[in-house]
Structure 1
Amino acid sequence: MIWIELAITLLALYLGARIGGLGMGITGGLGVAVLCFGFGLSPGSAPISVMLIILAAVSAASALEAARGMEWLVQLSERLLRRYPKAVTFLGPLVTYGMTLSVGTGHTVYVIQPIIADVARKTGIRPERPLAASSVASQLGITASPLSAAIAWLVTSFEDRGIPYTLGDILTVTVLSTLCGLLAAATLQTFVGKDLDKDPEYLRRMADPKLRAEIEGHDASLLGRELPAAAKRSVGIFFLGLLCIVFLGMVPEARPVADAATGKVVGMGSIIQMSLLSTAAAIVLLCQVDAKAMVAGPVFKAGMSAVVAIFGIAWLADTFVTNNLEIIKPAIEEMVTQYQWLFAFAFFLVSIIVNSQAATARMLGPLAFQLGVAPATLIGIYPSIYAYYFIPNYPSDLATVNFDRTGTTRIGKYLLNHSFMLPGLICTWVSVGVGLLLASLIL
């Protein structure tokens, strides 16, 4: 029966991926219903804590967006890119990575990618090189952001199990390792494809007067926009909230006591939720933000889609795994016991399907603990929870293809030979290798 149940689980995920948007969430819920009513399985645990953290993060990011603080950050990034245009293949990914690291969501990439494409073309650099790496970097940053649900899940899981690693320990490894992976990918990207003036697709488009006018007349700059003083203020408030989370994650003694009898402090899940909601409230109150504008922005809409998706996906996976754990665990226990780092491939394969780092961690993380994967090893391989560039159906990758009017960033004829494959693989596996090394030396 396990194979039939697995087939139903995968079919639900496949149908959700085909629907897109909220699809994987709602078909995940359908899969839970089929497994419970059709096969007598007990429903697993819905990822409530992860969902609440995402909701809190989306609230803070939406307030920042409504106050136009996000635009100010993009303007700062654009000034950097246009000041050093020849370094765009390195600076572009660093900018998108930094934005995700700071804000906790990769959806800011949609604003900066047109600027990266514009800078690259005007400098004569093949846009595919910085654009593909930047799209990958924007999602890789989630595995190292203190505001992301994926990192929050790992921190709270360690605390619940009495594992002494703090948020600071985790970020030391994940930030350094993912930066190494990003820089390695950017270096290789400088050699990808023909130079722009020799690319046949670009030359074909430039030979067409209509396409040439569209390419040359496109200006993605945000530098001319006037922003209110509240925009800068909102950024200051937002980063103050971020610093509070990092500080309280690194210094548990500074948190309120949750249980006077045991001296146990408030968990990081609650700390992150309180900090982010307080940050959102401070931005709204001190920057005169219209709360209605928060729910109308793209960050809020994308965030709500992520909540529904993780709800259904993680609930379905937990239902399947917990009811079949006695069969699954012995099948892979010996292999993982001997070579614990091989669990990275399990993370990698699941991420390709579910398109979410937090959902991947929530689905397989408990199994990693049950199989005895060492906490330090788990931190080292954590970047492998991002692999959904493998099949180029994620919105940021598809949008990046459309942003490149030169036609150099593309989805290949055979689906897997696309622009994001090389930087994605390099980012993931260099990050994992460096992460394992750092974890063995530091933790």
Structure 2
Amino acid sequence: MFYVHMLLLLSIIFVGIRFGGIAFGLLGGLGVSILAFVFGIAPGNPPISVMLIILAVVAASATLEATGGLNLLVNYAERLLRKHPSKIVFLGPLCTYTLTVLVGTGHSVYPLLPVIYDVSIKKNIRPERPMAMATVASQMGITASPIAAAAAVVMATAATNNLDISLSSVLMVTIPATFTGVIIGCLWSLRRGKELAVDPEFQEQMKNEDFKAQLINEEMATADNQKFSKQSKTGLSIFLGGIATVVFIAMFGKDIGLLPEGVKTSVALQFLMLSVGALILLATKVDPKKVVKTNVFTAGMSAIIIIFGIAWMSDTIIAANKPYIISLVEDVVRAQPWTFAIAMFASSIFLKSQAAVLTIMLPLGFMLGIPAEVLIGTLPACYAYFFFPFYPSDLAAIQFDRAGTTKIGKYVLNHSFMIPGFIGVVSATLIGYSISTGILPIWGWAIAIVAIITAINLHMNRQPEVASI
């Protein structure tokens, strides 16, 4: 019956792909109903702890956006990009990565995409180089963020399985791993595609005056021309201070007695992030009605529904078929535990949420007896939905690139995001696994530094652009 149940799950996923968004969650609930009433299986446990953490984080981040603080953060990133346009291939992806780490969602990439395009095209740099990697980097930052849904899943799942996995032990692996993976992806992107001046496809389009006229938007407002209120600056200051506090308490709270006895870090994250939102609300007096209308709130609620339904269905199937699943893959996983990364990667191709992938796969990993350090090291592999170029941020990058260099290929899979995605994720997973399992313990940080220095040296030694477009 396991294969029948899996066929039902795959059917739910494929139908969910067709509709997108919260369809995964709604259809997951339908799947649980079918399993309960048709197959007579008792429903598993819905991921309540995970959803509560995401709710708290989304509430705080949405309050920040309502104050204008998120736009202010993007403004700072834009100033950096415009100040150093020749380094856009590196700085663009690094800015989107950093934004995700700070605010916990890859959807923060959207305001920066038109800026990255504008800086690139004015510098005669092929926009595809920074833009494709920028969308990949924005998603790679998820597992490196202390307040992202992925971190919530790791902490909640560890607590459920009575494992003492701290937030610091996770971030000490995921931050250097994903950061270095982004740098390696940027290095490859430096030379991707032809220079615009010698690209026959682009030059053919340049013969069209309408195409040529729309390449550069001279009326686009720059960062220096934008004004921000005291409310936005106050909101951003409190939010960043709140993140620092959350990380500090998660790392040292139990050791120095800040957390009461018996309070789990996953629970502390919930009330701390709600407190951050409350402090922003009280200090800025932002209208609460604006909070629920923000993009962060909408995206966050969608993520919760997706995780609720599809993870609940997966847990139901795993719980009902636990002995058979263990007998099926136990020998392979015990002999080669790193293969768990491949399973997560494959799952993520279809599940457009890293939190959803981890909610499904981590309990399975614990059930199979995979060591915690292996699970932590393979966390970067939970991002693979660049495989099909239909994720909103990928489509946005294609839309914003008016030069047409960022695109879906003739055969669909030969699109702009495939190779940088593979390079970034595979590199990050290999480095994360090496750091977490002790192959490269402290040297993980050194790798990141060496990669940065190498990237900068290679970039500075690049030949100048062939010619103006």
Question: For the superposition of Structure 1 and Structure 2, which TM-score range results when normalised by the shorter chain?
Answer: over 0.9
| Partner SS for 1:39 | coil
The residue number in structure 2 matching 1:238 is 239
| Partner SS for 1:412 | coil
| Partner SS for 2:355 | helix
1:89-122 Cα deviation digits (max 9, x unpaired): 1111110000000000111101111101111111
Task: Determine whether 1:279 maps to 2:276.
Answer: yes
Q: Is the 8 A contact 1:143 1:386 kept in 2?
A: no
How far apart are the structure 2 equivalents of 1:204 and 1:279?
A: 53
How far apart are the structure 2 equivalents of 1:162 and 1:306?
A: 26
> How many pairs does the alignment contain?
437
Q: Is the 8 A contact 1:156 1:269 kept in 2?
A: yes
What runs of 5+ residues in structure 2 fail to find an aligned partner? 443-469
The residue number in structure 2 matching 1:407 is 404
Are residues 204 and 277 of structure 1, via their aligned partners in 2, closer, same or farther at CA, if it must alter by over 3 Å? Answer: farther
TM superposition shift of 1:160:
4.2
The equivalences for 1:154-169 within 5 A come to 154-169=154-169
Q: Which amino acid aligns with 1:73?
A: L
- TM-score, with normalisation over the residues of structure 1? 0.95
TM superposition shift of 1:307:
1.1
How far apart are the structure 2 equivalents of 1:151 and 1:32?
A: 26
Q: Which amino acid aligns with 1:299?
A: V
How far apart are the structure 1 equivalents of 2:162 and 2:309?
A: 29
Task: Determine whether 1:53 maps to 2:57.
Answer: no
Q: Is the 8 A contact 2:67 2:286 kept in 1?
A: yes
Q: Is the 8 A contact 1:201 1:408 kept in 2?
A: no
The residue number in structure 1 matching 2:222 is 221
TM superposition shift of 1:325:
1.5
Q: Is the 8 A contact 1:23 1:309 kept in 2?
A: yes
How far apart are the structure 2 equivalents of 1:304 and 1:273?
A: 16
| Partner SS for 2:395 | helix
| Partner SS for 2:224 | coil
How far apart are the structure 1 equivalents of 2:204 and 2:238?
A: 48
| Partner SS for 1:278 | helix
* Residue 307 of structure 1, aligned match among 304, 326, 339: 304
| Partner SS for 1:279 | helix
Are residues 424 and 159 of structure 1, via their aligned partners in 2, closer, same or farther at CA, if it must alter by over 3 Å? Answer: same
The residue number in structure 2 matching 1:98 is 98
The equivalences for 1:1-400 within 5 A come to 1-217=1-217, 219=220, 221-253=222-254, 254-257=257-260, 263-264=261-262, 266-400=263-397
How far apart are the structure 1 equivalents of 2:216 and 2:190?
A: 23
The residue number in structure 1 matching 2:426 is 429
1:298-335 Cα deviation digits (max 9, x unpaired): 11111111111111111111111111122111111100
1:222-249 Cα deviation digits (max 9, x unpaired): 4322110121111110011101110111
Q: Which amino acid aligns with 1:305?
A: S
Q: Is the 8 A contact 2:121 2:216 kept in 1?
A: no
Are residues 22 and 160 of structure 1, via their aligned partners in 2, closer, same or farther at CA, if it must alter by over 3 Å? Answer: closer
TM superposition shift of 1:289:
0.8
TM superposition shift of 1:133:
0.6
Q: Is the 8 A contact 1:181 1:426 kept in 2?
A: yes
Identity of aligned residues (%): 42
TM superposition shift of 1:221:
3.2
The residue number in structure 1 matching 2:451 is none
The residue number in structure 2 matching 1:260 is none
How far apart are the structure 1 equivalents of 2:277 and 2:383?
A: 28
Q: What is the alpha-carbon root mean square deviation over aligned residues?
A: 1.5
| Partner SS for 1:146 | coil
Q: Is the 8 A contact 1:25 1:310 kept in 2?
A: yes
TM superposition shift of 1:396:
0.8
TM superposition shift of 1:388:
0.8
How far apart are the structure 2 equivalents of 1:411 and 1:220?
A: 29
- TM-score, with normalisation over the residues of structure 2? 0.90
Point out the more displaced range, 200-209 or 330-339.
200-209
1:43-81 Cα deviation digits (max 9, x unpaired): 111111111111111111111111111111111101110
Q: Is the 8 A contact 1:105 1:142 kept in 2?
A: yes
| Partner SS for 1:178 | helix
How far apart are the structure 1 equivalents of 2:176 and 2:410?
A: 35
Q: Is the 8 A contact 1:78 1:223 kept in 2?
A: no
How far apart are the structure 2 equivalents of 1:231 and 1:76?
A: 13
Q: Which amino acid aligns with 2:248?
A: F
TM superposition shift of 1:162:
4.3
Are residues 165 and 305 of structure 1, via their aligned partners in 2, closer, same or farther at CA, if it must alter by over 3 Å? Answer: closer
Q: Is the 8 A contact 1:152 1:268 kept in 2?
A: no
Point out the more displaced range, 294-303 or 202-211.
202-211
Q: Which amino acid aligns with 1:333?
A: E
TM superposition shift of 1:155:
2.4
Q: Is the 8 A contact 1:118 1:220 kept in 2?
A: no
How far apart are the structure 1 equivalents of 2:369 and 2:376?
A: 14
TM superposition shift of 1:161:
3.8
Q: Which amino acid aligns with 2:422?
A: L
| Partner SS for 2:38 | helix
TM superposition shift of 1:156:
3.2
| Partner SS for 2:141 | helix
How far apart are the structure 2 equivalents of 1:421 and 1:151?
A: 25
How far apart are the structure 2 equivalents of 1:171 and 1:55?
A: 21
Q: Which amino acid aligns with 2:268?
A: I
How far apart are the structure 2 equivalents of 1:158 and 1:392?
A: 32
Q: Which amino acid aligns with 1:2?
A: F
Q: Is the 8 A contact 2:144 2:171 kept in 1?
A: yes
How far apart are the structure 2 equivalents of 1:94 and 1:352?
A: 24
